[in-house]
Amino acid sequence: MLAKLLPTKKIILPNGKTVNEKRSVTPLIILLVLVFAYLSVRITGFDLELLIKRIGQFFVILKDMVPPTWAYFPKIWIPLLDTIKMSLLGSLLGAICALPLAMLAASNITKLKWLSALMKFILSLLRTLPTLIVALIATFIFGLGTVAGIVAIFLFTIAYVGKLLYEQIENVNMDAYEAMHSMGLTTIQSFRYAIMPQILPNYLSTALFCFEGNVRYAAILGYVGAGGIGLLLNESLGWRNYANVGMILLLLVITVFIIETISEHYRKKLM
């Protein structure tokens, strides 16, 4: 669209023919980005001077973290396990519930146009709200504790796995499905035998990937009171006990690394 607005550059070849070269839109895009960046600097009060003067403070905090309080470990491993359990339960339930929803949202399985459009809209609506804000709302409804966190992770997993899954279903090879349908199998039976084998590896891989991400999210859900290790993180940060924060972060990095390695191994096998 932008390219049509700009006049083309004419090049005359030695044999007399003219060629219209399209103008690049890159300078225009750079200009737009610069304008937006300037406006954003004005709105957010970006101040390089302040940053240079005070950035040392950031490293002071980092330095305080460095010998982590090893003695803090017995206190945090139970909340850490809670965090893992929360994300495991939320991801598992979410991934299971995502399958029927994705079936309803896929326009080649669900013949009712309005139903698939409605399901797609619900899934994208669920995906818009950040997990932490969903957890915040859930703490008001389910009270403080792990249940609110599980609900937030559950909803996010449904939306994420559901979206990737229905896109997958819409792109499968429909031949076997139609053949089974014509032989008199019901929609669910033919879905089970014709489409499930095609989408299963990707479905499991997506669910595992989502679980990986959920462990990271679950770690901070405690910040709004939704259980897990975030509660202790919030407390230690509040008391400015940075050595404890260091211990929590170290443990978190190790846990996430282990879970990522295991899940990556299985995802590679699935592919």
Residues that bind other proteins (CB under 8 A): 33, 36-37, 39-41, 43-47, 50-51, 54-55, 57-58, 61-62, 81-82, 84-86, 88-89, 92, 124-125, 128-130, 132-133, 136-137, 140-147, 150, 216, 219-220, 223-224, 227, 233, 237, 245, 249, 252-253, 256-257
Which residue lies nearer to other proteins by CB, 28 or 147?
A: 147
Task: Report in angstroms how near the CB of residue 19 gets to other proteins at its nearest.
Answer: 19
Query: What are the b/e assignments for 33-42, b being 16+ CB within 10 Å?
Result: eeeeeeeeee
Kindly state the smallest distance separating residue 13's Cβ from other proteins, in Å: 21
List CB contacts of 180: < 8 A, sequence separation 6 or more.
189, 190, 193, 194
- Measured CA to CA, the distance from residue 229 to residue 13 in angstroms comes to 70
CB of 227 to other proteins, least distance (A): 8
Q: Which helix (H) or strand (E) holds 124?
A: helix 113-128
Closest CA to 214 of 79, 95, 124: 95
Beta-carbon contacts of 72 under 8 Å, excluding residues fewer than 6 positions away, are 243, 244, 247, 248
Q: Which is nearer to other proteins, 47 or 178 (CB)?
A: 47
Q: At 256, is the secondary structure helix, strand, or coil?
A: helix
User: Closest distance between other proteins and the C-beta of residue 21, in Å?
Assistant: 15
* Minimal distance, residue 256 CB to other proteins, in Å: 5
Burial class (CB in 10 A: 0-12, 13-18, 19+), 228: buried
Radius of gyration in angstroms for the set of CA atoms belonging to the chain, rounded to a whole number: 26
Angle of the 196-221 helix axis to the 242-270 helix axis, nearest 10: 180
CB 64 → other proteins: shortest distance, Å?
Answer: 10
For other proteins, which is the closer residue by CB, 82 or 165?
Answer: 82
Cβ distance to other proteins smaller for residue 34 or 115: 34
Measured from the CB atom, the residue of 13 and 141 that comes closer to other proteins is 141
Return the number of the residue (35 or 112) whose C-beta is nearest other proteins. Answer: 35
| Between 9 and 54, CB nearer to other proteins | 54
The three state secondary structure string of 3-16 is HHHCCCEEEECCCC
CB of 184 to other proteins, least distance (A): 19
Taking the C-alpha atoms of residue 49 and residue 68, their distance in angstroms, rounded to an integer, is 32
Q: Which of 1, 25, 24, 23 lies closest to 10 in space, CA to CA?
A: 23
Name the residue nearer to other proteins (CB basis): 102 or 219.
219
CB of 163 to other proteins, least distance (A): 11
